[in-house]
Amino acid sequence: MQTGTRPLILVTNDDGIASLGLRAAVRSVWDLGEVFVIAPCLQQSGLGRSFPNGPASVEERLLEIDGKQVQAMCMDAAPAKVVRLALVSLMPRLPDLAISGINYGENLGSCVTVSGTIGAAIEAATFGIPSIAASLETDAQYHFATNAEVNFHAAAAFVHRLAKALLSSGMPAGADILKLEVPSDATEKTPWRTTRVSRQQYFVSNVSVNAQGKKGVSGYRVEIDHDTLEPDSDIQAVALDRVVSVSPMSIDLTAYSAMQSVTSMLERL
């Protein structure tokens, strides 16, 4: 952060500029610094960290939040691409913090890399920016919503607490992103817990068979294998124990515990 300047906070999402979750995220941090808001113009859930080819136009928008007119931008691009273009060409300087969310729907388990919410946070983290990816558990009917009336109050309170801590003390050593998951029935007093990202999928595809016997995929459902679920996982915390989950994530995807065994394998080949 430049001396004498207020913290600069990037707020983005994958649900689009019209999302009430985006407004909740802005509201949660506008007392902590200068807020720069940019998001996809339309719903972009499920695009992960993808970078579709082609130009991306930028539109200026005004968001009304608690009676205030907040300057914002939107782009016809995937969430990660929105973040990259904002960082390299639109923002006055690199932000001190990036917040992606608050997402309609939880991002749990190994499915997280599908999420545009996570993809946007990963993109910001690759620039060295401490990042929060925030999601609120909702019914599946709201997962592709933008302005459905969902109560983001508790989720916003946890975003505020995390953002204030990161701006004050920085990201915990070894982490690049904090993945925040808030149960649908949480209040500001709900306990929170440090968790790992489960290896389970959590969301699994529904497989359908047509009259000709051809299989296809139609939607998805939640599926939890209770026998193998890690007790310290994000799924356990949110879906079963109903507490807020904070998972530290790293952009370093190296499986360090496998380094020696891979070396041994290569030596035998």
Q: Domain extents for the chain?
A: 8-200+229-268
Q: How far apart are CA 134 and CA 181, in angstroms?
A: 6
> What is the side-by-side order of every strand in the sheet holding 34-40?
58-65, 68-75, 34-40, 8-12, 97-104, 131-136, 177-182, 244-249, 192-194
Give residue 241's pLDDT.
98
What is the predicted pLDDT for the residue at 259? 97
- Is the pLDDT at 143 greater than 70, yes or no? yes
Q: Please name the helix (run of DSSP H) or strand (run of DSSP E) that holds residue 164, with its range, or none.
A: helix 153-169
237 contacts: CB under 8 Å, gap ≥ 6: 181, 193, 195, 243, 244, 245
Facing residues of 249 across strands?
177
Quote the pLDDT of residue 149: 83
55/76 Cα distance (integer angstroms): 9
Confidence at residue 5, expressed as pLDDT on a 0 to 100 scale: 84
Q: Is 126 exposed, middle or buried (0-12, 13-18, 19+ CB in 10 A)?
A: middle
Residues 6+ apart with CB under 8 A from 231: none
pLDDT digits (tens, 9 = 90+) for 156-211: 999 999 999 999 999 999 999 999 999 999 999 999 999 999 999 999 999 988 88
What backbone phi and psi angles, to 5 degrees, belong to 110? -70, -5
pLDDT for residue 119: 98
The 10s digit of each residue's pLDDT in 204-246 is 999 988 888 888 888 899 999 999 999 999 999 999 999 999 9
Kindly indicate the confidence band of residue 76, based on its pLDDT and cuts at 50, 70 and 90.
very high
- Give 11-20 pLDDT, tens digit per residue: 999 999 999 9
DSSP category for residue 152: -
Predicted confidence at residue 4, as pLDDT, reads 58
Is residue 89 within 8 Å of residue 127, measured between CB atoms?
A: no
SS3 state of residue 31: coil
DSSP string of 95-122?
-SEEEEEEEES---GGGGGG-HHHHHHH
Q: Among residues 42, 41, 31, 45, which one has the least CA distance to residue 101?
A: 45
pLDDT of residue 3: 52
| Helix H or strand E segment including 124 | helix 116-125
Question: Which pLDDT tens digit goes with each residue over 243-267?
Answer: 999 999 999 999 999 999 999 999 9
Contact between 185 and 151 under an 8 Å Cβ cutoff? The reply is no
Which of helix, strand or coil describes residue 158? Answer: helix
pLDDT at 49 over 80: yes
Name the fold adopted by 8-200+229-268: Stationary-phase Survival Protein Sure Homolog; Chain: A, (3.40.1210)
Local confidence band at 1 (pLDDT 50, 70, 90 cut-offs) = low
